[in-house]
């Protein structure tokens, strides 16, 4: 198929965890479209063009390879690509603001606004702009105003198409999503733009999963979906603390309540805490929005979910400290996992960061092991780097350790030879299973003192 024959020219600004996989899937499923992904980060673009993609995501390389060079292109050149495209997805980062009004809660929109201005100055024809990044409600309207304040007589229509993919399962989620949400203004031009975007996804997704709404509902739904998911985790984590006090087992409680079809069994795994680039950021965005409208009780309700998560992380470190006779100073502690969940190299907002920091403050000798995330961990922990040891091999990480803490639920940690690990550890040897993935009884029989989340501790001596 020659380039002239492409029926749509799509551009995506931002080649990160969202933009890269989403565009790769569109290109793979729609060979009739030309899809270009641009980023200001040259190194990232080079990586997307190679076999060493900038993010680890199971199955992604195959999808990229299917389309790359055929109808999927990566570039750092913005201006001409803007000119050439009819549809522009914007998928740049929207971190939480660290300064000024709304600091710590609202989204920092400077990258988004810069994109809007770049598009406006380069464009020579009307375009549909698709919000992919998670943004505060009403951003689309603000951006449309900026874009349409142009002297070229150009018309821009902004559509919201929030991304619901989860990392580690991005390819599966994009291939077979529960739903795709497309929000637009309900004017004639808004509805036309909406239909253009629906048409893209209809190439491989059944129509009943393509949901449309007004702009604000689409923007709000993303924040609410993530807040509801996080709320379930904080709810079960709060119960895990109680389980430890009353000798209940949080997995049994999860199973029992999850069988109720009204509750459902997903997102009920108690853990060391939720991480990732979305949950905390989106809840705080929602909190800020509520505060802006004077809905203080609503804001406080949602903010408590973040506080419960922080409590769970703190509780985990306190359990380690208390179990190790109230001092971790100079003790070798092996953290198994640094990624915020399994099957990703992403460490954004990982509980591992907080746990490492707290252990370092107590002058512990921390050894970090992770099959994919060590590179990112080193960046996150650059302030401590000369004091932290990184060891990809979990057996070596645990050698002479006083304790192991499971932070990420990587499959490989379930399959290790814990007898061998135990034989090389200091005594008494401790294991803190922050993900409840191990066979606790077996570990206890090997000789470990075992501290799961939300389950009775299995220890070989009397706990004071
Ligand atoms: C989330 C949403 O799931 C996705 O729809 C949205 O687009 C982006 O945010 P992601 O952050 O990639 O995706 O991962 P997710 O699987 O939701 O896990 C988030 C965190 O919650 C992880 O740290 C995970 O380990 C933790 N988690 C998840 C639990 O602690 N318990 C659970 O039962 C489920
Ligand atoms: P997400 O998880 O939302 O995809 P990432 O941080 O992984 O977020 O990706 C966002 C990407 O957007 C980064 O690679 C960043 O370099 C890129 N980016 C930010 N601003 C611009 C811009 N003005 N033009 C092009 N790319 C940008």
Ligand 2 atom having least distance to the Cα of 278: 2
Q: Single out the residue of 283, 164, 200 nearest to residue 30, CA to CA.
A: 200
Largest CA distance in the chain: 78
pLDDT in tens, 227-244: 999 999 999 999 999 999
Mean pLDDT of 155-176: 96
pTM of the model: 0.95
Residue 36 main-chain phi, psi, to 5 deg: -120, 135
**Two structure tokens written together for 398:** 């645990």
Ligand 2 atom having least distance to the Cα of 118: 23
Mean pLDDT of 367-394: 95
Looking at ligand 1, which residue's alpha carbon is closest to its atom 25? 341
Q: Which residues pair with 72 in a beta bridge?
A: 35, 68
**How far does the centroid of ligand 2 lie from the alpha carbon of residue 150, in Å?**
25
pLDDT band at 447 (very low <50, low <70, confident <90, very high): very high
Q: pLDDT at position 427, please?
A: 97
Q: pLDDT at position 139, please?
A: 83
Residues of the chain with CATH 3.40.50.720: 3-205, 247-464
Ligand 1 atom having least distance to the Cα of 168: 12
Report the distance separating Cα 272 and Cα 389, nearest Å: 22
pLDDT in tens, 425-445: 999 999 999 999 999 999 999
> Does the pLDDT value for residue 3 go beyond 70?
no
Q: pLDDT at position 386, please?
A: 83
Report the distance separating Cα 450 and Cα 98, nearest Å: 39
Comparing 220 with 462, the larger pLDDT belongs to 220
pLDDT in tens, 68-100: 999 999 999 999 999 999 999 999 988 887 888
Q: Which ligand is nearest to the CA of 312?
A: 1
Helix, strand, or coil here: 66? helix
> Does the pLDDT value for residue 124 go beyond 60?
yes
Q: Which ligand is nearest to the CA of 110?
A: 2
Q: pLDDT at position 110, please?
A: 86
> Does the pLDDT value for residue 410 go beyond 70?
yes
Report the distance separating Cα 440 and Cα 419, nearest Å: 13
> Does the pLDDT value for residue 1 go beyond 70?
no
**How far does the centroid of ligand 2 lie from the alpha carbon of residue 16, in Å?**
6
Judge whether 397 and 369 are in contact, CB under 8 Å. yes
Q: Which ligand is nearest to the CA of 75?
A: 2
Q: Single out the residue of 344, 396, 332, 407 nearest to residue 375, CA to CA.
A: 344
**How far does the centroid of ligand 1 lie from the alpha carbon of residue 263, in Å?**
18
**How far does the centroid of ligand 2 lie from the alpha carbon of residue 98, in Å?**
18
Mean pLDDT of 39-58: 96
Ligand 1 atom having least distance to the Cα of 167: 12
Report the distance separating Cα 352 and Cα 95, nearest Å: 19
Q: pLDDT at position 463, please?
A: 67
CA 197 vs CA 87, 88, 287: distances in Å: 9, 11, 30
Q: Which ligand is nearest to the CA of 266?
A: 1
* Catalytic site includes residue 278: yes
CA 293 vs CA 287, 288, 290: distances in Å: 10, 9, 5
Q: pLDDT at position 361, please?
A: 95
Q: Domain 3-205: what homologous superfamily? A: NAD(P)-binding Rossmann-like Domain (3.40.50.720)
- Non-local (6+) Cβ contacts of 368 within 8 A are 335, 338, 352, 356, 374, 377, 381, 388, 389, 390, 391, 397
- Pairing of β 332-336 and β 210-214: unpaired
CATH topology of domain 247-464: Rossmann fold (3.40.50)
Ligand 1 atom having least distance to the Cα of 271: 30
Give the residues surrounding ligand 2 with Cβ less than 6 Å away.
13-19, 38-41, 44, 91-93, 111, 114-115, 133, 277
**How far does the centroid of ligand 1 lie from the alpha carbon of residue 290, in Å?**
23
Instruction: Tell me the DSSP string of 303-364.
Output: HHHHHHHHHHHHHHHHHHHHHTTT--TT-EEEEE--SSSTT----TT-HHHHHHHHHHHTT-
pLDDT band at 160 (very low <50, low <70, confident <90, very high): very high
Burial code (b: 16+ CB inside 10 Å, e: under 16) for 64-76 equals bebbbeebbbbbe
> Does the pLDDT value for residue 52 go beyond 90?
yes
Judge whether 197 and 159 are in contact, CB under 8 Å. yes
- Average pLDDT along the chain: 95
Q: pLDDT at position 464, please?
A: 58
Looking at ligand 2, which residue's alpha carbon is closest to its atom 3? 93
Give the residues surrounding ligand 1 with Cβ less than 6 Å away.
163-167, 226, 229, 233, 267-269, 271, 274-276, 278-279, 340-341
Give the range among 56-65, 91-100, 183-192, 345-354 with minimum mean pLDDT: 91-100
Judge whether 222 and 164 are in contact, CB under 8 Å. yes
Q: pLDDT at position 399, please?
A: 98
Q: pLDDT at position 63, please?
A: 98
Residue 158 CB burial class (10 angstroms; 0-12, 13-18, ≥19):
buried
**Two structure tokens written together for 384:** 């401590």
Residue 311 main-chain phi, psi, to 5 deg: -60, -40
Report the distance separating Cα 292 and Cα 280, nearest Å: 18
**How far does the centroid of ligand 1 lie from the alpha carbon of residue 167, in Å?**
8
Residue 332 main-chain phi, psi, to 5 deg: -80, 120
Mean pLDDT of 160-170: 95
CA 458 vs CA 323, 429, 438: distances in Å: 11, 12, 13
Judge whether 444 and 418 are in contact, CB under 8 Å. no
> Does the pLDDT value for residue 142 go beyond 90?
no
Looking at ligand 2, which residue's alpha carbon is closest to its atom 17? 14
- Non-local (6+) Cβ contacts of 392 within 8 A are 369, 370, 371, 374
End-to-end, the C-alpha distance of the chain in Å comes to: 73
**How far does the centroid of ligand 2 lie from the alpha carbon of residue 74, in Å?**
13
Q: Which of 12, 115, 278, 290 is catalytic?
A: 278
pLDDT band at 108 (very low <50, low <70, confident <90, very high): confident
Residue 64 CA from chain centroid, whole number: 21
pLDDT in tens, 189-215: 999 999 999 999 999 999 999 999 999
pLDDT band at 454 (very low <50, low <70, confident <90, very high): very high
Provide, rounded to the nearest whole percent, the portion of the chain with pLDDT above 90: 89
Mean pLDDT of 276-294: 94
């Amino acid at each position: 198929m020659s380039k002239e024959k492409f029926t749509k020219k799509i551009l995506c600004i931002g080649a990160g965890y969202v933009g890269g996989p989403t565009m790769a899937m569109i290109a793979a499923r729609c060979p009739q479209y030309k899809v270009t992904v641009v980023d200001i980060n040259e190194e990232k673009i080079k990586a997307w063009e190679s076999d060493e993609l900038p993010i680890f995501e199971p199955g992604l390389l195959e999808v990229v390879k299917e389309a790359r060079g055929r109808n999927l292109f990566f570039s750092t050149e913005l201006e001409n690509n803007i000119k050439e495209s009819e549809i522009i997805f914007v998928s740049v980062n929207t971190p939480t603001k660290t300064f000024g009004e709304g600091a710590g809660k609202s989204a920092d929109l400077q990258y988004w606004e810069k994109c809007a201005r770049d598009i406006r100055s380069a464009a020579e024809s009307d375009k549909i702009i698709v919000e992919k990044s998670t943004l505060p409600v009403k951003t689309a309207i603000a951006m449309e105003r900026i874009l349409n304040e142009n002297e070229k007589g150009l018309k821009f229509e902004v559509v919201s198409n929030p991304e619901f993919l989860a990392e580690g399962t991005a390819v599966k989620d994009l291939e077979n999503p529960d739903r795709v949400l497309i929000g637009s203004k309900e004017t004639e031009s808004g509805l036309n733009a909406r239909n253009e975007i629906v048409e893209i996804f209809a190439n491989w997704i059944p129509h009943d999963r393509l949901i449309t709404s007004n702009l604000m509902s689409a923007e709000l739904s993303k924040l609410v979906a993530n807040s509801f998911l996080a709320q379930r985790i904080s709810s079960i984590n709060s119960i895990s603390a109680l389980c430890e006090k009353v000798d209940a087992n949080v997995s049994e409680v999860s199973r029992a309540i999850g069988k109720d079809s009204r509750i459902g069994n997903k997102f009920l795994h108690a853990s060391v805490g939720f991480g990732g680039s979305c949950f905390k950021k989106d809840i705080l965005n929602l909190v800020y929005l509520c505060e802006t409208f004077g809905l203080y009780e609503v804001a406080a309700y949602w903010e408590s979910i973040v506080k419960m998560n922080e409590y769970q992380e703190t509780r985990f470190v306190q359990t380690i400290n208390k179990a190790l006779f109230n001092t971790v100073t100079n003790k070798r502690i092996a953290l198994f996992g640094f990624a915020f969940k399994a099957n990703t190299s992403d460490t954004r907002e990982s509980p591992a960061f907080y746990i490492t920091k707290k252990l370092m403050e107590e002058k512990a000798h921390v050894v970090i092991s992770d099959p994919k995330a060590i590179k990112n961990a080193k960046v996150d922990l650059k302030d401590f780097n000369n004091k932290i040891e990184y060891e990809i091999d979990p057996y070596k990480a645990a050698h002479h350790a006083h304790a192991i803490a499971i932070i990420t639920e990587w499959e490989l940690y379930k399959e290790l030879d814990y007898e061998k690990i135990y034989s090389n550890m200091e005594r008494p040897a401790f294991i803190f299973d922050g993900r409840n993935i191990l066979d606790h009884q077996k570990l206890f029989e090997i000789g470990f003192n075992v501290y799961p989340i939300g389950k009775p501790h299995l220890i070989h001596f009397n706990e004071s």
